[in-house]
Amino acid sequence: MKHLIIISLLLLAGSVLANTPPEVTNAVAVQRPQTTTIDVTFDVYDVDGDHVDVSLWYSTDAGISWDFQCVSVSGDEGPGVVPASGLTVTWDAGIDFPDIASNEISIRVFADDGTGNESR
């Protein structure tokens, strides 16, 4: 019986250690005309089938650094997002970044599967 328990624990530990980060693909951001609202569509795939925590971040230096999280968001964001195609997050950039008037702004979608693996 002791051997069975040890083997089970080793199998469980191996499955946690072998977790693969989720993948974010096909991300497209489109600003609605005459507004500061930005719609971001994207796909998330996780080979392990984990739900993911999705967050949007923006850069004011054309993607050199990602220091600012988009806070005024709605849609397929936050914890518990089921990986799928055609996910959408809407960001009201005017609330988070009121003086938005730059061609240097970039948006990135992050997906974290909760095991220390994060896709950007």
Whole domain around residue 108: which residue ranges? 21-114
pLDDT tier, 14 (very low <50, low <70, confident <90, very high otherwise): very low
Q: Is the pLDDT of residue 83 over 70?
A: yes
Residue 84 placed within a domain: yes
Q: Is the pLDDT of residue 109 over 90?
A: yes
pLDDT tier, 116 (very low <50, low <70, confident <90, very high otherwise): low
pLDDT digits (tens, 9 = 90+) for 49-73: 899 999 999 988 888 888 899 999 9
Residue 120 placed within a domain: no
Q: Is the pLDDT of residue 5 over 60?
A: no
Residue 44 placed within a domain: yes
Domain count, the chain: 1
Q: What is the largest CA-CA distance in the chain?
A: 69
2 or 77, which is more confident: 77
Q: Quick one: 38 exposed, middle or buried, by C-beta within 10 A (0-12, 13-18, 19+)? A: buried
Q: What is the pLDDT of residue 13?
A: 41
Q: pTM of the entire structure?
A: 0.79
User: What's the mean pLDDT when you consider all of the chain?
Assistant: 83
Residue 80 placed within a domain: yes
Per-residue tokens: 89: 């997050």
Q: What is the DSSP string of 25-88?
A: EEEEEEEPTTSSEEEEEEEEE-TT---EEEEEEEESSTTS---EE--SEEES-EEEEPP-SSEE
Residue 2 placed within a domain: no
Instruction: Give the whole-angstrom CA distance, residue 6 versus residue 120.
Output: 36
Q: What is the pLDDT of residue 63?
A: 84
For residue 32, what is the domain's CATH number? Answer: 2.60.40
Burial 19-32 (b: 16+ CB within 10 A, else e): bebbebeebebeee
What number is the average pLDDT over the span 26-45? 94
Residue 54 placed within a domain: yes
